[in-house]
Amino acid sequence: MNYKNGLKSQKLVPFLAKNKLYGYWDQAKNVVIAPQYLSAKVFTSTGFAVVTDNKGKVGVINTKNKVVVGFRFRSIELYVVRKFTVVSALRYYTVKTRFWEWKFLPNFNILSRNSSFSPLFDKDVNRARHSVFVLETNQTIARVSSSLKSTQGLQKIPIEALSSKFIQIGHHLYKAKVNSFVKLLSNFKGTYDHKLKLVRQLRADKVKTYNLLGKKIKSYELIQSRVFPITYKGKEHLVYFKINESHWKNPPTIYRDTKTSGRYFVNEQFDMPLPVHLKSLDLKQDRPLLEIWQNVVNIDAVVSNNFFLIEVLPSDKTRTTNDFYILTTTGVLKDYLPDPLSYSVTSYEDLIWPNKYEIIAKEDFPVDSQFHKVRNIGFINEPYYYVSYQLQDELRTGLWDALNKRWIIQPEYHSLTVLKDLKFVRFRRAYDSQFGLMDLSSNVVIPDRYNMIHYIVDDLYQVVQGLEDENQIMRYYAYYFKMSNHLSYTELEKTGISFSFK
């Protein structure tokens, strides 16, 4: 792969032609690759794109429209790691040689005179194969195959690009070297310390940590009973977990450094030990410490704020929501949110911090409305939250600045999503309405008339729009546009972005 091909790929954008097929334009809307594909994705920085042919099969082309991965796959995903392109490809196919999986055909009667003229078995066995390989070197990294049964499909290999040099494939961590990928760790569990250290499962009750060169740092033992000690005023308390009472999806994993410090850790966050001593209590609610420790159901490390979030059963047994406490790394136990705020007060399981008005006050909601949910935005550092309330039968969501106590976007929408470019917000006014785009000052830049809007990369976005064909059948088309020059990459007369910049 030469650099020029990669540079050229950044200037090619898929366009939807009048024949309702996809090709590629350059920045001046000159046709570089003629429209011929049912679908087309953006080229990677290494110069490859996933496309679908007229038979619905998926393959990969380069910027010269040369097929580099043949059209025989159900789906393909590309991952760029260093200078390499890792291909994750799923293929369905049929074989006749697996005789032990042949099936008797229905309605076959062995007593029938004509049975000998009818096939006894269905010899077609449907299979699926998930392959992971490097496009530039043809290095196969992983492959798994299985027969497709009515109740069970193929378990695909999980893949995650962790950085510009590392990629997790299955349970293994690979590092991109000069000419190939090498397996750095088997039984890889994750990272900590801002992804500078690696964790490997050694056996069921033990993990090891490594640096980015694969050199061992330390070993930790898993505490099967999920317990950790903490002292207060000279008395040691053993904190056990009633995990069956937790509203969180995953129970905690507790580790201990048994060879040196003896300290305890939570969920592979080995740069943040649990405090040994509880130095002080900072509680707004009057609740005995022993009662708190006896009702702990879960704990998680919030590394960015140097505290642990502890889930505790409420004193009032009629309540359906649990209480939450904060244990700082310096040994202070609190029952209110710290300031400034940067931690989610609710998870996907709808956990709500009891003191929710630490985030937003009741008077900031419309009269007679009922608080519904607070959600954080995981990929930004600012204390911005999606806050929703219910007024009669309507659910409304806005974007709230918890530090300055103001609405960035008023709670007038059914749904809001801050796009990863951090410039625009996708909105929908009602459950059955279309999507539009606004900036962070609530100025609508694209009216809400599209089925979906995605941020792709840099200044490139994608919309999905439904159009009726000549038979009044609704067809959905995805095409791209650039926000900077308001250019839509489509030739269809009924499509094109309606910009409304002020």
Residue range 305-323, pLDDT digits in tens? 788 989 899 888 887 778 8
Distance, CA of 110 to CA of 108 (rounded, Å): 6
> For 263-309, what is each residue's pLDDT tens digit?
999 999 999 999 999 999 999 888 999 999 999 999 988 887 788 98
Average pLDDT over residues 87-114: 70
Q: Region 340-369: what's the mean pLDDT?
A: 58
Beta bridge partners of 447: none
Q: Furthest-apart CA pair in the chain: how many Å?
A: 92
pLDDT at 140 over 60: yes
Is residue 252 predicted with pLDDT exceeding 50? yes
Low-confidence winner among 25-29, 62-66, 292-296, 381-385 (lowest mean pLDDT): 381-385
Helices (H) and strands (E) in the chain, counts: 2, 42
Q: What is the mean pLDDT of residues 173-190?
A: 94
Report pLDDT for 497: 59
Spatial CB neighbours of 236, under 8 Å, sequence gap ≥ 6: 229, 230
Q: CA-CA distance, 37 to 490, in Å (whole number)?
A: 14
- The pLDDT of 139-167, averaged and rounded, is 82
User: Considering only 110-119, 188-197, 372-381, 421-430, which range has the smallest mean pLDDT?
Assistant: 110-119
Question: Which of 54-58, 376-380, 450-454 shows the lowest mean pLDDT across its residues?
Answer: 376-380
Which H or E element spans position 4?
A: helix 3-9
Collapsed DSSP state (helix, strand, coil) of residue 287: coil
Question: In this predicted structure, what is the pLDDT of residue 151?
Answer: 45
What are the structure tokens assigned to 368, written together? 């007679």
- pLDDT of 208 reads 95
- Torsion sign across C-alpha atoms 180, 186, 189, 192: negative
Compare 493 and 15 and report the one with higher pLDDT: 15
User: What is the average pLDDT across 185-190?
Assistant: 94
Query: Considering just the CA atoms, what is the radius of gyration of the chain in Å?
Result: 28
3-state SS, 58-95, equals EEEEECCCCEEEEEEECEEEEEEECCEEEEEEEEEEEE
Q: Collapsing DSSP states into helix, strand and coil, what is residue 208?
A: strand
- Determine the pLDDT at residue 152: 58
**CA atoms of 79 and 88, how far apart (whole Å):** 8
- pLDDT tens, residue by residue, 5-57: 444 555 899 999 998 899 999 988 899 999 999 999 999 999 999 999 999 99
**Torsion angle in degrees (nearest 10) through CA of 76, 81, 84, 90:** -20
- State the SS3 of 385-441: EEEEEEECCEEEEEEEECCCCEEEEEEEECEEEECCCCCEEEEECCCCCCEEEEECC
Whether residue 136 has pLDDT greater than 70: yes
Query: Which pLDDT belongs to residue 473?
Result: 84
**Can you give the residue ranges of every domain in the chain?**
1-72, 74-107+121-186, 212-336, 344-410, 414-502
Evaluated on CA atoms 444, 447, 453, 457, the torsion sign reads negative
Residue 357 is predicted with a pLDDT of 52
CA pseudo-torsion sign 154, 155, 157, 159: positive
Instruction: State residue 11's pLDDT score.
Output: 83
| Beta strands, E only, 74-161 | 75-81, 84-95, 103-104, 121-122, 125-134, 140-147, 159-161
On the question of pLDDT at 499 being above 70, the answer is: no
Whole-angstrom Cα distance, residue 436 to residue 424?
A: 10
pLDDT score for 375:
79
Q: What are phi and psi of 447, to 5 degrees?
A: -60, 155
491 pLDDT above the threshold of 60: yes
pLDDT at 501 over 90: no
In this model, does residue 349 exceed pLDDT 50? no
| High-pLDDT (> 70) share of the chain, % | 84
Q: In CATH, what number does 1-72 get?
A: 2.40.10
Average pLDDT (201-213) is: 93
More confident: 166 or 152: 166
Cα-flanking dihedrals φ and ψ of residue 486, to 5°?
55, 35
Mean pLDDT estimate for the chain: 85
Altogether, the residues listed in the chain come to a count of 502
Q: Which residue type, as a one-letter code, is found at position 226? A: R
The answer to whether 491 and 440 are in contact (CB under 8 A) is no
Q: What is the pLDDT of residue 34?
A: 97
- pLDDT band at residue 352, thresholds of 50, 70 and 90? very low
Task: Read off the DSSP letter of residue 245.
Answer: G
The confidence score (pLDDT) of residue 402 equals 82
The 8-class DSSP code of residue 321 comes to: S
Q: What is the DSSP string of 434-501?
A: -EEEEETTS-EEEEEEESEEEEEETTEEEEEEEEE-TTS-EEEEEEEEETTTTEEEB--TT-------
Q: How far is CA 10 from CA 30, 86, 461, 497, in A?
A: 15, 18, 14, 22
Report the distance separating Cα 396 and Cα 384, nearest Å.
17
Structure tokens at 355: 């003191």
Q: Which of 399, 404, 402 is nearest to 426 (CA)?
A: 399
SS3 category, 349: coil
The fraction of the chain above a pLDDT of 90, given in percent, is 53
Q: Which of 35-39, 223-227, 465-469 has the highest mean pLDDT?
A: 35-39
Q: How many CB atoms lie within 10 A of CB 404?
A: 8
Mapped onto helix, strand or coil, the DSSP state of residue 198 is: strand
The pLDDT confidence band at residue 225, using thresholds 50, 70 and 90, is confident
